[in-house]
Amino acid sequence: MTESTHSNCKSLLGSLSDYVDGELGAELCREIEKHIAECDDCRIVVDTTRKTVDLVHASNHPQAGLPDEVRDRLFKRLNLADYLKPPAQ
Amino acid sequence: MIETTSQADISLEALRTGDHAEFARLVDAYSAPIYRLGLRMLGNEQDAEDVLQNTFLSALTHLSNFEGRSSVLTWLYRIAVNESLMVMRRGKSEVNVDDTESSDETIEDLSPSQFVDWGALPEDELLSAEGKQALDHAIQKLPENLRMVFLLRDIQELSIKDTAEALGLTESNVKVRLLRARLSLREQLSIYYGERINQEKTND
């Protein structure tokens, strides 16, 4: 990491979310990639932030459905008990 | 397990005319994500069920006010967020009316302090039961206003625009809070995996 590039670290942080979400323009992406090739701390922050978001998504699937008894009580509370047949497949 | 029906399948017109069968379909389409949000937000099943029931009761009452500018699901999330906040503040002697801290709106003070390079650890280690627990714990530790943004965007996978709409925030506000939440989780996971890496080195 050199002094001249280190001043960019802060500005990189502001674009980090968009970058890991793939929503950053090509030019800014190139700037980030150029910077992290030279700044190891920033490369680690970018890599581990992306990994953090990936882990959140991965641990979130498959998504659980509603427990049957919770559905039963919900339908009764909403006066929809007549419609309490199993959900259509 | 109930599959989520796409929004196009639900007729707003039928809902507004009080069609019970259509409302039942709406409930089946969207109750699971609303329940999951409550669980993540409040951390227990009883409160999550209260939020779920109150959300749909409120939706039933206010259907005529729903203009269809946002998606039905975003609208339901908005109600669920408000219901969750009410549960969170229940019993709290001091209710913080303005929960927006000035530091939420800027990223000036953000400065990562953990530089452990754990991104290359194998998937099965990152997604071990213990790893998932560390992640859940880190999410629970996020301050309320960051957690809500994070849950809607990264757990419920809403767009930035829909997250902003559901929370009544601007999109730039959502982006700042999302970044703060993600960086905070990254710091905590870095500490956790840093310890794991050190342990492995010690054992070698």
Helix (H) or strand (E) holding B117: none
Residues 120-149, chain B, touching A (beta carbon < 8 A): 120, 126-127, 131-132, 135, 139
Look-up of token digits 């641990």: A59
CB B45 within 8 Å of CB B39: yes
pLDDT at residue A2, rounded to an integer: 44
The dihedral formed by the CA atoms of B85, B105, A39 and B115, expressed in degrees to the nearest 10: -40
Look-up of token digits 């280690």: B125
Distance from C-alpha of A69 to C-alpha of A58, rounded to nearest angstrom: 27
pLDDT at residue B1, rounded to an integer: 41
Interface test with B, best of A41, A66, A75, A85 (most B CBs within 10 A): A66
Q: Shortest CB distance from B126 goes to which of A14, A55, A57?
A: A55
Share of chain A above pLDDT 90, in %: 67
Query: DSSP character for B151?
Result: I
* B197: contact with A, CB 8 A cutoff: no
pLDDT of B99 strictly over 70:
no
In chain B, residues under CATH classification 1.10.10.10 are 102-203
Length of chain B: 204
In chain B, residues under CATH classification 1.10.1740.10 are 7-89
Please give the structure tokens belonging to residue A10. 């802060």
Please state the rounded mean pLDDT for residues B120-142.
Answer: 90
Question: Class for domain B102-203, per CATH?
Answer: mainly alpha
User: Hey, are the CB atoms on B2 and A74 less than 8 Å from each other?
Assistant: no
User: Hey, are the CB atoms on B126 and A51 less than 8 Å from each other?
Assistant: yes
pLDDT of A61 strictly over 80:
no
Chain A residues with CB-CB distance to B27 below 8 A? 74-75, 78, 80
- B114 by DSSP, 3-state: which? coil
Nearest to A34 by CA among A22, A46, A48, A17: A46
Count contacts between A and B (CB, < 8 Å). Answer: 117
What's phi and psi for B71, nearest 5 deg?
A: -75, 160
Nearest to B149 by CA among B118, B130, B173: B173
Residues 162-181, chain B, touching A (beta carbon < 8 A): 175, 178-179
Per-residue pLDDT reduced to its tens digit, B139-178: 989 998 999 999 999 999 999 999 999 999 999 999 999 9
CA distance A51 to chain B (A): 6
Chain B residues with CB-CB distance to A57 below 8 A? 154, 157
Is the sign of the CA dihedral B88, B90, B93, B94 positive or negative? Answer: positive
* B38: contact with A, CB 8 A cutoff: no
Please state the rounded mean pLDDT for residues A2-24.
Answer: 80
Q: Shortest CB distance from B107 goes to which of A13, A44, A47?
A: A13
CB A15 within 8 Å of CB A24: yes
Per-residue pLDDT reduced to its tens digit, B173-189: 999 999 999 999 999 99
Helix (H) or strand (E) holding B157: none
Which ranges of A1-89 does DSSP label H, i.e. alpha helix?
A: 3-6, 9-20, 26-38, 40-59, 68-77
CB B173 within 8 Å of CB B192: no
Question: pLDDT confidence of B95, banded at 50, 70, 90?
Answer: very low
Interface test with A, best of B53, B130, B156 (most A CBs within 10 A): B53
Nearest to A78 by CA among B23, B57, B21, B35: B57
> Average pLDDT over chain B, rounded to whole?
87
Q: In CATH, what number does B7-89 get? A: 1.10.1740.10
User: Hey, are the CB atoms on A64 and B53 less than 8 Å from each other?
Assistant: no
Distance from C-alpha of B10 to C-alpha of A34, rounded to nearest angstrom: 48
